[in-house]
Amino acid sequence: GNSVTQMEGPVTLSEEAFLTINCTYTATGYPSLFWYVQYPGEGLQLLLKATKADDKGSNKGFEATYRKETTSFHLEKGSVQVSDSAVYFCALSKGFSEKLVFGKGTKLTVNP
Amino acid sequence: NAGVTQTPKFQVLKTGQSMTLQCAQDMNHNSMYWYRQDPGMGLRLIYYSASEGTTDKGEVPNGYNVSRLNKREFSLRLESAAPSQTSVYFCASSPETSGGARENIQYFGAGTRLSVL
């Protein structure tokens, strides 16, 4: 079946550090890939997405590239801020009619 | 923009009590979902509704029932609450896409934090 594996957290960084959160997936066919972010006390919101191989999703300084050869969609940011502290979820979907499959989430804390 | 609205935000129940979690969206989305979020487990799908009048089980449906009252509203009912149902519950909705787009972008409510004693 379809599944998503994320690096386990928590991840603690200093402000302006480089961030990588690893995500790999298992799926038949060609899924769409997503990163969602959950700020403290809130619901999830879409951060970025990619729908085909080699696509790069980007938003708010975050980037992730759909790598079919390594079945990966790692999240990166060059310089994190305290306001980036949140839980990040990688997810996949094989199409609109398919349900989202989420990873377990990675908690990021950024210290000033 | 209200988006997806969940009520209540917090609830404490005793074992065996029943309650209904309410969810409403004002974005004219066809699909709606109920998830539970537990530490170390990520989000797990309880039930979903692809359109008004239809509902389907997700990964963890036992102990829950749902009603898609109309296009806007999708409620989750616990008939006899158990401590194992202590969790944070999220409702989400997603729009139709056109042209065969392969996206399933979901919009989430702020959640209901439920404790069952």
- B98: which 2 tokens? 């056109």
- The model's pLDDT over A70-106, given as tens digits with 9 standing for 90+, comes to 999 999 999 999 999 999 999 998 765 667 889 999 9
pLDDT greater than 90 at residue B112: yes
Q: Is there a contact between B4 and A102 if contact means CB atoms under 8 Å apart?
A: no
pLDDT greater than 70 at residue B1: no
pLDDT greater than 60 at residue B100: no
Identify the bridge partners of residue B51 per DSSP, sorted by sequence position. Answer: none
Q: How far apart are CA B43 and CA B27, in angstroms?
A: 23
Picking from A6, A31, A102, the residue whose alpha carbon sits closest to that of residue B36 is A102
Q: Residue B99: pLDDT band by 50, 70, 90 thresholds?
A: very low
pLDDT greater than 80 at residue A18: yes
pLDDT greater than 70 at residue B50: yes
pLDDT greater than 80 at residue B11: yes
- The model's pLDDT over B13-45, given as tens digits with 9 standing for 90+, comes to 999 999 999 999 999 988 899 999 998 888 999
CA angle, B31 then B33 then A20, to 5°: 105
pLDDT greater than 90 at residue A29: no
Picking from A34, A57, A89, the residue whose alpha carbon sits closest to that of residue B103 is A34
- B48: which 2 tokens? 């979903």
Give the mean pLDDT of A2-16.
Answer: 93
**Which of A8, A32, A36, A44 should we substitute to test contact with B (largest number of B Cβ atoms within 10 Å)?**
A44
Which residues 12-71 in chain B show a CB within 8 A of chain A?
Answer: 33, 40-43, 45, 48, 50, 58
Q: DSSP of B1-25, one letter per residue?
A: ---EEEE-SEEEE-TT--EEEEEEE
Q: In degrees rounded to 5, what are phi and psi of residue B31? A: -95, 140
Picking from A41, A83, A102, the residue whose alpha carbon sits closest to that of residue B110 is A41
pLDDT at B98: 52
Identify the bridge partners of residue B111 per DSSP, sorted by sequence position. Answer: none
pLDDT at B39: 85
